[in-house]
Structure 1
Amino acid sequence: MELGSVRALKAEVEERVVRPFVAEALASGRIGMAARSLSTATRRQPGIALGVTRGRGKGDFRLAIRVQRPALIGPELVGRIAEMARGEHDLRVIGRVRKRAAAPKPWHQSRQRPLLLGSSIGHVDVTAGTLGAVAWHRRTDQAVVLSNNHVLANEDRGEAGDPILQPGAADGGRRPGAVIGRLLAAVPLRRNGGNRVDAAIGELDERIRFDALTLTGLGALDGVRAEPLLPGDRVAKVGRTTGLTRGRVSAVEVDGVVVGFETGDLSFDGQIEVEGVGGPFSAGGDSGSLVVDSDLRACGLLFAGSDRGGSGGLGLTFLNEIAPVLRGLGLSLDLAPAMA
């Protein structure tokens, strides 16, 4: 069909079919209140749009029929339009159309006071990672925030006393208002291999309140898992980027995992591998998330992930075992709730 013919058909359909249908439907009350107000605004049937689309070849065009309300598919309206088009149409059910406004920032990328597990955090020179836990530091006898070395200590480039921001810089955290504490300690990253953890802690400002128990969407943290994870065990986490996700342990005791850092490739041993259930388990920015088992006991600290290798084409996530993390930094999670 020529372009001019389609344009004429579109105008004819509007005049002979759509407008009479709207008038009759409004008069009879067949269009509900929400649709009625839309009809008043557009002066035409709400839920059906007409346009011009490509046909079978160059210079060939068809009538585009876009249905937003499936109930309109039937002989009374869409059927009549298709009949008038004599097969020269492209019918698609497109559903509700919404403006492409930016989605509201999720809570885990926003400022949180009191601090919440799973929210955005980072060293002043780092984009953002995840606040994994609020733990009790035995040496200083105080509450500290736990995350990765590459989140809180900038891959060993940070110095004790450097500001820690919540939210992290990538999420709008700026000094001085976002400063919640200072870098206290980190487990050094070994350049010659044999790493087991990527972990660091920050000393909290005494004015900062926190909730050391709540894992939003999951429940209350219930201490530390005593027995090692095994393949097939179910786990979950709340992180800065993907929020609440669930996964399945796909391998344990994984040695020789080479992870790319800004300062170079580092090798890790004794790691836990997790694949997502119902979607990816993690994405960039989830580093530092505390991973819990099905009983909400802490079992791992998330630090890295791959783009491929998981079921359904999803990537894999790697965790440090929680025991060497706590041992290496002199921490206890069981006492953290007492400080909340």
Structure 2
Amino acid sequence: MHIESVRALKQEIAADVVPPAVAAIERAGGFSITTFSLDKQTRARPLLALGVAPGTRKTDVRLAVRLQRHSLERSETLLDTIRKRARDEVDIRFVGRIAKHAGPWYRSRLRPVRPGGSTGHFRITAGTIGAFAQEKKSGKIVILSNNHVLANENDAKAGEAILQPGNYDNGKRPKDAIATLAKWVDLKPNGKNQMDAAIAVLKKGVDCDPLNYDALGTLAGVRTEPILQPIAVSKVGRTTGLTRGRITATELDDVAVSYDVGSISFDDQIEIESTGSGPFSSGGDSGSLILDENMNACGLLFAGSETGGSNNRGLTYANPIAPVLSKLAIVLPVP
């Protein structure tokens, strides 16, 4: 299927197929009250996400369908309708609940500070330093990570302390305060979101090693080629360290992600599965930079599912990196 056909089909199914199918399941009592209630503070519900998956041939793509409820997975009418409209050029997977990554594992204090290390606003647990970047206007060096890591899901003020390691990893003010919150993209509970991103200005006197991505090597730049095939990717994160995977879908819309305020919906997201024996990411890896085989940045990791993927250890979700850099008006360093 051509890419434009899949994009049009996404809109058609979201508008004409999903709403009546969900209404029918609700009338039949198919959704659990405890697992499918509409969040009181948000409008997003975990249903299904639609995107673009690699096709059987190099130039082809398929419709990606990611189911977040077992009731949808068991709905033969819904799935048959989708298959028919997609003419069987469809990749359907159950991914379950997708939640923001905020994790329980210990990570150490790093000096100089490096990408992949534990970090976070002083009131959160811990996330990951995805990259160091430079503000276009001021020239200041900043840390790039998620809103929910650096800006505490919009509940923070510019100038507040960012720790390394994060609070959960015994980071304390003032000795571990390495940066101050500068800018973030608001998370919109009742609207569409494209990214979970924020930056913090590195404090004077704090050394960093901006290009060092552990055993992966040196950051080369930003990927400019479109992702329409299952390319290999990797990341270095606070909890699971260095992991490898492959992109299994792009341009996923209506991805409902659980936050403290409830489920928040995201469009145009990247999906990644692990190619190893463990998960590609876990709680605390939020903010990690996704790198392709040429060490070019292609995404900003922010969430993951409980199940799915080739080893059923879960799937990872990331914001495309180019819109993040543009929105925050920053550039990544190059060798």
TM-score (norm 2): 0.67
1:276 aligns with 2:274: yes
Structure 1 residue 190: Cα displacement: 1.2
| Separation in 2, partners of 1:170, 1:257 | 28
1:308 aligns with 2:295: no
| Separation in 2, partners of 1:148, 1:231 | 26
- Structure-1 residue corresponding to 2:94: none
Q: Would the aligned equivalents of 1:224 and 1:334 in 2 still touch at CA under 8 Å?
A: no
User: Which of residues 180, 183, 189 is equivalent to 2:181?
Assistant: 183
Structure 1 residue 189: Cα displacement: 0.8
- Structure-1 residue corresponding to 2:288: 289
**Cα deviation code 1:110-142 (max 9, x no counterpart):** 111111110000000010000000001112211
Structure 1 residue 309: Cα displacement: 1.7
- Structure-2 residue corresponding to 1:4: none
> Aligned to 1:211, what secondary structure does the other structure show?
coil
**Cα deviation code 1:42-98 (max 9, x no counterpart):** xxxxxxxxxxxxxxxxxxxxxxxxxxxxxxxxxxxxxxxxxxxxxxxxxxxxxxxxx
| Separation in 2, partners of 1:305, 1:167 | 22
| Separation in 2, partners of 1:183, 1:158 | 8
| Separation in 2, partners of 1:129, 1:259 | 16
| Separation in 1, partners of 2:186, 2:225 | 26
1:196 aligns with 2:194: yes
Structure 1 residue 313: Cα displacement: 1.6
| Separation in 2, partners of 1:228, 1:126 | 34
What is the number of equivalent residue pairs in this alignment? 231
> Aligned to 1:194, what secondary structure does the other structure show?
coil
| Separation in 1, partners of 2:170, 2:227 | 36
- Aligned pairs (5 A) from 1:208-219: 208-219=206-217
1:299 aligns with 2:266: no
User: Which of residues 263, 266, 277 is equivalent to 1:265?
Assistant: 263
Structure 1 residue 169: Cα displacement: 0.4
Q: Would the aligned equivalents of 1:300 and 1:319 in 2 still touch at CA under 8 Å?
A: yes
| Separation in 2, partners of 1:160, 1:140 | 16
1:330 aligns with 2:291: no
- Structure-2 residue corresponding to 1:227: 225
> Aligned to 1:181, what secondary structure does the other structure show?
strand
| Separation in 1, partners of 2:138, 2:125 | 28
Moved over 6 A (4+): none
Greater Rg, structure 1 or structure 2?
A: 1
TM-score (norm 1): 0.66
Q: Would the aligned equivalents of 1:238 and 1:245 in 2 still touch at CA under 8 Å?
A: yes
Structure 1 residue 298: Cα displacement: 0.4
> Aligned to 1:326, what secondary structure does the other structure show?
helix
Q: Which protein has greater RCO, CA pairs closer than 8 Å, 6+ apart? A: 2
| Separation in 2, partners of 1:225, 1:156 | 29
> Aligned to 1:254, what secondary structure does the other structure show?
strand
Structure 1 residue 263: Cα displacement: 1.6
- Structure-2 residue corresponding to 1:164: 162
| Separation in 2, partners of 1:140, 1:189 | 25
Gaps of 5+ in 1: 1-105
| Separation in 1, partners of 2:157, 2:333 | 28
Structure 1 residue 217: Cα displacement: 1.0
Structure 1 residue 324: Cα displacement: 0.7
Q: Would the aligned equivalents of 1:231 and 1:248 in 2 still touch at CA under 8 Å?
A: no
Structure 1 residue 145: Cα displacement: 0.3
**Cα deviation code 1:294-339 (max 9, x no counterpart):** 000000000000011211222000000000110010010035x6xx
| Separation in 2, partners of 1:175, 1:303 | 25
Q: Would the aligned equivalents of 1:309 and 1:315 in 2 still touch at CA under 8 Å?
A: yes
Which has the higher mean CA deviation after the structures are superposed, 208-217 or 108-117? 108-117
